[in-house]
Amino acid sequence: MKRSSFHLGFILSLAALALSACSKQSEKTSGGNAAAIQSVDQKASYGVGYNLGRNLGQEKLLELDRAALTAGLEDGLANTKPRLPEADLNAAFTTLRQRATAAIAAEGEKQLAVGKDYLAKNKAKSGVKVTASGLQYEVLKSGLGAKPKTTNSVQVHYHGTLIDGRVFDSSVQRGQPIEFPLTGVIPGWTEALQLMSIGDKWRLTIPPGLAYGAQGKGAIPPNAVLIFEVELLAIK
């Protein structure tokens, strides 16, 4: 998964532009007086700065030095020569990328261990079936309709969580079903939906090899076991 490294790289690349707007506005707002933040541009500038600051504050891979950050922003805004050689800056960014890679690998190993234990316990539960690929499913509601093929698109409602219960995606919460080609999703979904009939509602427990694997995706950690409640609404 590249979430941590992408997140950090995105923040670092955005910093000069985003805080540039906030820095220029701060000169006009009497040291950050909220009452002076009135125009659309001022509010948007403050919002960009606030969100960037919050993201930087949550970044665990970087022990942020505010003085150094401010110095870099000021030099960049003034378009002056950097205080550090380019080689030093590149070396620092390389170290951060290495930290991100190590953090991702460590999280992946952790998820493999807890996921293996969870899968072993879940498959022993009453009503849980396991396919040859390792996909686990439980029938929550049975339908009587047709089954889709890989050439079809389907319309479904779903609710996706990690094994600790955290929701990472849910059409149910959005109140809007989703439609997609059967071959355009993770292998665990492609396999399960071909076994389902219209009207079926299943709980899928998907091993990482049938989900997003070692790379993860967004809020999904590397090597995470995923749990979905999926209801097949229609076949297109």
Q: Which residues on neighbouring strands pair with residue 19, listed in sequence order?
A: none
Q: Where are the alpha helices (DSSP H) in 59-162?
A: 66-78, 86-123
Q: Which of 168, 178, 180, 198 is catalytic?
A: 168
Q: Could you give the CA distance from residue 138 to residue 151 in angstroms, rounded to a whole number?
A: 25
Q: Could you give the CA distance from residue 104 to residue 64 in angstroms, rounded to a whole number?
A: 20
Q: Which of 46, 118, 137, 158 is catalytic?
A: 158
168 part of the active site: yes
Q: Phi, psi at residue 220, to the nearest 5°?
A: -90, 120
**8 A C-beta contact, residue 137 and residue 129:** yes
**8 A C-beta contact, residue 130 and residue 118:** no
169 part of the active site: yes
Q: Which of 46, 118, 137, 228 is catalytic?
A: 228
180 part of the active site: no
190 CB burial (10 A radius; 0-12, 13-18, 19+)? middle
Q: Which of 37, 163, 186, 198 is catalytic?
A: 186
Q: List all residues 6 or more positions away from 141 whose beta carbon is below 8 Å from its beta carbon.
A: 199, 200, 201, 231
158 part of the active site: yes
**8 A C-beta contact, residue 192 and residue 135:** yes
178 part of the active site: no
Q: Which of 46, 104, 169, 235 is catalytic?
A: 169
Q: Which of 46, 200, 212, 227 is catalytic?
A: 212
Q: Which residues does the annotation mark as catalytic?
A: 158, 168-169, 186, 212, 228
